[in-house]
Structure 1
Amino acid sequence: MVFVHGAGGSNVVWFRQLRDFKKYFNVLLVDLRGHGKSKANYSKEELYRFDEIALDVVKTMDHLEIEKAHFVGISLGCIVIRAIDKLAPERAESIILGGAVVQFSKKINVLVSIAKLLNSILPYMWLYRLNAWILIPSKKNTQSRNLFIREAIRLGEKEFKKWLRMSDEIRLALQEFIVKEASAPVLYLMGDRDYMFLPMVSDLVKKHFNSKLEVISDSGHVCNLDQPDVFNERSIQFIKAISG
């Protein structure tokens, strides 16, 4: 199992998955470029390309001699996994996308534009906290939102701006992924309170033959943290079903 976190996070966001998944699988947790323990490997001035970030994961698998894997992503990590599947389609046995971002809606485009406009004026954490409240508005999901913000503090302003600069690349990638299905079976796990992204995922699954959607009750955007037992159980059941 290869776990891919979202923007501003690190492999810490998977701590509620490890115990259950390690019963059945070998587990690889990656820190994306500029995040967590990968942060020290890149200069503060180095700019990123989105495909390069996806290839970092592929190269890590190559280094560890992992030919194929089941991929699990959360939030923006889901887009990274789709990019991995595009660049190296033979590597995915299955794909599980939690709190998936599949399209930039008008609201998201406005938020990104505002962030680009204000990022040189306002402290980046003001923008990130605003983003966290928009993505995770419910009081019931305060713990997930606080972790989201805590990890963003560790990310730092320079890394935040690098990822913000890639928004146009990410938007173009999503347009392609809407049309082109993944090479492996896909399970979308979405919280019932993920108001921003659940409707778009529901529409997409109706158009894709090898994708299915399961909605997790009493959960927001970061459904792997809000309802970890349900997230883990449904993910493992999905993999067992397709593996025969």
Structure 2
Amino acid sequence: MRLVIARCSVDYVGRLTAHLPSAVRLLLVKADGSVSIHADGRAYKPLNWMSPPCAIAEADGVWQVTNRADEQLVITIEEILHDSSHELGVDPGLQKDGVEAHLQVLLADRPDAIQEGLTLVRREYETGIGPVDLLCRDPDGASVAVEVKRKGEIDGVEQLTRYLARLQDDPFLPHPVRGILVAQSITPQARLLAADRGLACVTVDYDALRGLAPAIPTLF
């Protein structure tokens, strides 16, 4: 991972245009090729970013980051305050809580609960930047990557987007590969971003998958 603290301005050119005026910011360049721009706020969320795969061209005072859709981040650097690179090694991945881990197991046994006709190819299919929870196949023989969350949020959409970018280049899979985010509940923001990324969202009932009656009684 490369960490650069610099006074810079940023322009995004793609489906829309956006401009960040000059300020001191943190630039993160990850081993997967992603680039994100952070301010000293907004918790973990970047001000702007480019998901992998993308190419970085560095010239004197200007970075041009281009993805496969020819969208660009143009970072104009006025002053570099810090520039360092660090090898983080292979990450063991997120340790899921009991409910999320069990939900993944249940869905691996019942992929048709996600979408009719889905069959499981493999659990924890490695993408090179982490394993996607379930790799499935639909009735037409197309590959389907399924990311399972207890609650579907923007982070889950971003994670699945990164996995899909890697899976599209996997020579062992039928292409294209589509993605589904599965959770007990999914936020409106996550649904909106998923739709923008061409991802499907599916909610499932954990108790129903376990064969239990609903936790909250219903009148009918």
TM-score, normalised by the number of residues in structure 1: 0.25
Radius of gyration: which is bigger?
A: 2
Richer in strand (by share): 2
TM-score, normalised by the number of residues in structure 2: 0.27
Higher relative contact order (CA 8 A, sep 6+): 1
Richer in helix (by share): 1
